[in-house]
Chain A
Amino acid sequence: MQKLVWALVVLLVIVHQDFWFWDVGTAEDGWLVFGFMPVGLFFHACISVAASVTWFLATKHCWPAELESAPPQKEAAP
């Protein structure tokens, strides 16, 4: 599962470079989502939601549990 989560992060970075929606997003070309949102903006808003979902999976499956029990603080040397 850990590998899948990190693969999703890499996938997010790849799909972020969405050259396929580069030149579309107007009423004339028919790429307005919900009739008002240019597809380039909509797609990247979806990437934001997908990023949250991916990071949720990361906190579930890749969380460094050993850090939860960090020993109490001591003072750093000045």
Chain B
Amino acid sequence: MTELWIISGYLLLLLGLGLFASRFFSGSKSDYQVASHSIGPFLLLMSLFGTTMTAFALVGSSGEAFKEGVGVYGMLASSSGIIHSLCFFLIGVKVWALARRHGYTTQIQFFRDRLASDKIGLALFPILVGLVIPYLLIGVMASGTVIQGMTAGAFEGFEPFRTGSPGTSFGVPKWIGSLVVCLVVLTYVFFGGMRGTAWANALQTTVFMVLGVVTFVVIANELGDRVYQDRLAKEAIAAAEGERTFFDNLALLGGELPEARATRSEMSFTKFVTYMLIPFSVGMFPHLFQHWMTAKSAGSFKLPVVAHPVFIMIVWVPCVLVGVWATLWPTLDTLSLPPLPKLPDSEVVNANAVLTFIVKKLTSPVLGGFLAAGILAAIMSSLDSQFLSIGTMFSTDIVNHYRREPLSDRGQVLATRAFVIGVVALVYFLSLGNYTSVFALAVWCFSGFSSLFPLVFAAVYWRGLSKAGAYASVLAAAGTWAYLFAQSGYGKNRTYALELAIAGETYEVMPVAAMFLASTLALFLVSLITPKPSEATLAKFFAERD
């Protein structure tokens, strides 16, 4: 029950923050959608970082490390540190300046203007929304799962909350947990708009970073003690002289790691290399675009550009280490510990449940409650921006764009809020479906956004990008994405990779490499042979050439 009180308290705190932020709301569309471009370096750093770190940062990182070993840090984290900041630097700052000059609040406004094409909006809109919706769905479903797992047993004896698994039985059911999280996020986005979202993200980012480190220290000590007791009982080590320290525990855990988890011996090198294309997705995330628009000045980007890689390290290194240490759990057979949680109807360990399971078994309910709040913070700090960005795109790029008479400021705020409610409701009802394979969609969503990166890069830096080249790039990205997604069994084959045969050797390549290549080639080749943009259009976006 302690966990439930802590989670409830945290959600109430967020509600309060959203309502407080609404007191600063001026009523204008610009204030609601982009906080009147008032966000300084620190809030921009926290909101960009919080938005890019999802539930995957805490739960997925430890789960993937449990399955794949320490190599996941290089595959997902250090690569993101390089590429995300590159995107903020090369795309974010430039697009911010163009949007300030021409008054854009959405990506589609920028592309319509840059390509002098109204229809590009209709081509991009369903793709962008279609790629964000599964991403939202993952967050909403994960929030219900986390709350249920961490509150298991809180309602002991209450039959409606009984499930088939002791790890979830008598906890808050998923549908209630997801509903509460949706309502909390909806409330602070509805009332606080982008300002409420930025403030909430700053709080949530602080919460999940601090709790990640605290959890790491506690788990290192608790799990280290268990390993020590087990190895002592097996006479594999000598008894320590004096009290054992935190560093003794680190050394014991590190020294016991199996080769398959301490190295990348079971990982494909070419998959690792091509995985580096996936972080380019941040260049095309609509919710990140909207956060960029909130910056007070171009200088506000400096802190996020510099600090983002180290922030990733602070969150990911502890989680990856906990994930690989968890592989020692089944070896502690002298301590009669409960087994790691399994996937339904299977003997395979549910890797994504490993972190919460170990925290629940080895630490106090208070830390368990705070960790659950931290995981929810990571989830909600992405959900809020995604809900707001889709609401903004609907109201700006569809409703207002196609009205004969543009909506007033108040009308646009109302339309955005109405669409935010609609999107939250849609995603919540979709989340009630019982399809676990949606979690496999994350990498496909990211790959889709990455394959659109060449478009935004060329739009910002290449005068030669033509309207037809842009359409060709979007079609090539969408076409290769759809084809490869179908080839993977619509995401069911989670390890799907392309196989390249070169000189008798077969190399595995991430599907994103093919999408990225197709989209780049289509953009470049078609732009070369089709009419260039007018001088008037180019003058809006590029400085005059000497």
Binding site for B on A (CB under 8 A): 9, 12-13, 16-19, 22-28, 32, 34-38, 40-41, 44-45, 47-49, 51-52, 55-56, 58-59, 63-64, 66-68, 70-78
Identity of the chain A residue whose Cβ is nearest the Cβ of B403 in the assembled complex: A78
| B255, A23: Cβ atoms closer than 8 Å | no
Which one of B95-103, B209-217, B495-503 is at the interface? B95-103
A27 smallest CB distance to B (angstroms): 4
Residues of A within 8 A of B305 (CB): 55, 58-59
| B254, A17: Cβ atoms closer than 8 Å | no
| A32, B255: Cβ atoms closer than 8 Å | yes
B104 smallest CB distance to A (angstroms): 5
CA distance A40 to B103 in the complex (A): 46
Partner of A63, one of B109, B259, B302: B302
Partner of A68, one of B86, B247, B299, B306: B299
Q: Does B273 contact A (CB under 8 A)?
A: yes
CA distance A1 to B320 in the complex (A): 36
Partner of B310, one of A12, A13, A48: A48
| B81, A73: Cβ atoms closer than 8 Å | no
CA distance A24 to B74 in the complex (A): 15
Residues of A within 8 A of B247 (CB): 35-36
Identity of the chain A residue whose Cβ is nearest the Cβ of B84 in the assembled complex: A51
Residues of B within 8 A of A37 (CB): 254, 321
| A22, B82: Cβ atoms closer than 8 Å | no
Identity of the chain B residue whose Cβ is nearest the Cβ of A66 in the assembled complex: B543
| A59, B306: Cβ atoms closer than 8 Å | yes
**Interface residues contributed by chain B, number (CB under 8 Å):** 68
Residues of B within 8 A of A27 (CB): 254-257
| A51, B81: Cβ atoms closer than 8 Å | yes
- The contact sample of 20 A-B pairs, CB cut-off 8 A, is A12-B82, A26-B258, A32-B255, A36-B253, A40-B74, A47-B78, A51-B85, A51-B309, A52-B307, A52-B308, A52-B310, A55-B309, A56-B306, A59-B89, A59-B306, A64-B94, A70-B100, A74-B101, A76-B113, A78-B401
| B264, A40: Cβ atoms closer than 8 Å | yes
Residues of A within 8 A of B253 (CB): 36
- The residue in B94, B262, B297 that gathers the most chain A C-beta atoms within 10 A of its C-beta is B262
| B309, A41: Cβ atoms closer than 8 Å | no
Q: Does B269 contact A (CB under 8 A)?
A: yes
Identity of the chain B residue whose Cβ is nearest the Cβ of A58 in the assembled complex: B89
CA distance A48 to B77 in the complex (A): 8
| B82, A16: Cβ atoms closer than 8 Å | yes
| B78, A48: Cβ atoms closer than 8 Å | yes
Q: Does B250 contact A (CB under 8 A)?
A: yes
Residues of A within 8 A of B543 (CB): 66
CA distance A38 to B324 in the complex (A): 11
B401 smallest CB distance to A (angstroms): 5
CA distance A40 to B97 in the complex (A): 39
| B73, A45: Cβ atoms closer than 8 Å | yes
Partner of A26, one of B101, B109, B259, B317: B259
| B309, A38: Cβ atoms closer than 8 Å | no
Partner of A41, one of B37, B113, B321: B321
Residues of B within 8 A of A63 (CB): 302
Residues of A within 8 A of B263 (CB): 22-26, 38, 40
CA distance A76 to B104 in the complex (A): 6
Partner of B257, one of A22, A38, A70: A38
